[in-house]
Amino acid sequence: MKSGVEPLVNDGFAGEPAKRCVGYVQSQREKGKNVVGIYCTYGPLEVVRAAGAVPAVLCAFADKTIAAAEEDLPANLCPLIKSSYGFIKTDTCPFYSLADVVIGETTCDGKKKMFELIAGIKPTHVMDLPQLPDQKEALENWTEMVKKLKGFLETTLKTQISDEAVEAEIQHSNVKNKLLNTILDFAALTPTPLTWQEMYDLTYLGQAASTADMMKVMEDALAKVQKRVADGVFHGQPDSPRVLVTGTPVGGDATKVFKIIEESGGVIVALDLCTGLKPYAGHIEEGAADPYRAISKRYLEIPCACMTPNDRRLSELDRLIEKFKPDAVIDVVLHACHGYSIESTKVKKHIEGKHKLPYLKIETDYSQSDVGQIRTRVAATLEMVHK
Ligand code: SF4
Ligand code: SF4
């Protein structure tokens, strides 16, 4: 991007989405709203918002709390879990401090067992996530879990959640998701007018902020990106290799991978991640007889590697590849995330076989010790695009 181009979200926090979100959640708290900590994209935000609460994502991406976590947790555990736990242990997580209650989902063993260690600190509600999403019982069971969440929030936050409020939040989510995707779809242009940082910033904020509060941010961002296109302003070079990033959530210290891709001459055009497009990909049925069932159906479609089979991940990759036209796919897997790590065998075969695209798997954590090695491997992959 040429220097002097205004960031899409120009509030002084460009590149610091966590700080922006802390400010947002804090401001909501000062208005009297309860705060509900969530750990996963499967956490049904519409029910949280229908309770009059603001969601705060508790997944952490900082290396600095890992050492404290490793006093209690095995070193060979996913850094996202260790970092999140370390923040709680050292009482330094601003989101956790603001949270009145916490929701966890049984996605992977590490998270499940971590919830047990923190359950006594704040009221913590664990939702049993079905992991065979295509079995007919899955929808029944997850609907039941979402309804149990309603009961938990009503009891602990001393509130009532009406079906009308849930329906209104479904409609709000659909509006937000549609507009956010309209903005992010501009990365399908060659060259792209968006940076990975802008895509990351917007999607990060969208998890916490209500549709009403996101509206002005999104409308401003849309106007700016439209102006960039009209003015011929773009990111990278017209022939920069276009990269789709898929895999585990990538944020904070792990964004070293995004930076390396960019420093190696690539441009990131799609983030197929929970810290990217995944939370915004679906549409929830409006006006359904049972709004909880409609919510459950949409959330069960999230293609996380904790599901089996997880064929939706491959069909979602097909959709994104067709739209964003990447020249290469980079699969980022956090250390010790066995679900995503094993699934990468299927993803590699799919990308190289069906799409004939270069594929690179990067296993990493939040330290900076592997930056040199990642740089060499990314450069070699992007070099293939030019051959
Ligand atoms: S990768 Fe899976 S477990 Fe992790 S936040 Fe996303 S949906 Fe949840
Ligand atoms: S990245 Fe993998 S191991 Fe880590 S919390 Fe998410 S699903 Fe679990």
Q: What is the pLDDT of residues 281-293, one digit of tens each?
A: 989 999 999 999 9
How many angstroms does the Cα of residue 85 sit away from the middle of ligand 1? 16
Q: Span 342-365, mean pLDDT?
A: 98
Report the predicted TM-score, pTM, of the whole model to 2 decimal places: 0.97
**269 alpha carbon – ligand 1 mean position (Å):** 21
pLDDT of residue 10: 84
Mean pLDDT of 282-306: 97
Residues with Cβ within 8 Å of 173's Cβ and at least 6 positions away in sequence, in order, are: 45, 46, 211, 284
- How confident is the model at residue 2, as a pLDDT? 61
Higher pLDDT, 41 or 10: 41
pLDDT in tens, 142-193: 999 999 999 999 999 999 999 999 999 999 999 999 999 999 999 999 999 9
Instruction: Identify the band that residue 15 occupies on the pLDDT scale cut at 50, 70 and 90.
Output: confident
pLDDT of 12: 84
Q: Is the pLDDT of residue 3 over 90?
A: no
Radius of gyration of the chain (CA): 20
What domains, with CATH codes, occur in the chain? 17-159 (3.40.50.11890), 165-386 (3.40.50.11900)
User: What is the number of other CB atoms lying within 10 angstroms of the CB of residue 182?
Assistant: 13
Torsional class of 4: left (φ above 0), alpha (ψ -120 to 50), beta (otherwise):
left
How far CA 168 is from CA of 67, 86, 162, 185, in Å, comes to 43, 37, 10, 26
Indicate which atom in ligand 2 lies nearest the CA of residue 306: 7
Ligand 1 neighbours, Cβ below 6 Å, are: 40-42, 107, 248-249, 274, 302, 304, 306
Whether residue 108 is predicted with pLDDT greater than 90 in this model: the reply is yes
What local confidence, expressed as pLDDT, does residue 266 receive? Answer: 97
Mean pLDDT (whole number) for 136-144: 97
Summarize pLDDT for 223-261 with one digit per residue, the tens.
999 999 999 999 999 999 999 999 999 999 999 999 999
Query: Please, which pLDDT band fits residue 387 given cuts at 50, 70 and 90?
Result: low
Ligand index nearest the alpha carbon of residue 278: 1
Q: 71 alpha carbon to ligand 2 midpoint, in Å?
A: 20
Confidence band of 6 (pLDDT split at 50, 70, 90): confident
Ligand nearest the Cα atom of residue 40: 1
**Res 14: pLDDT:** 84
Which residue's CA is the closest to the ligand 2 atom numbered 2? 337
What is the rounded average pLDDT of the residues 123-134? Answer: 97
Strand 101-105 versus strand 53-57 pairing type: unpaired
| 255 within 8 A of 213, measured Cβ to Cβ | no
C-alpha of residue 383 to centroid of ligand 2, in Å = 31
Output the CA 78–ligand 2 centroid distance in Å.
Answer: 6
What confidence category does residue 20 fall into, taking pLDDT thresholds of 50, 70 and 90?
very high
Residue 313 has pLDDT above 70, yes or no: yes
> To the nearest whole number, what is the mean pLDDT of the chain?
96
Neighbours of 363 (CB within 10 A): 18
Cα distance between residue 110 and residue 337, in whole Å: 9
Average pLDDT in the 260-279 region?
97
Ligand at shortest distance from the CA of 82: 2
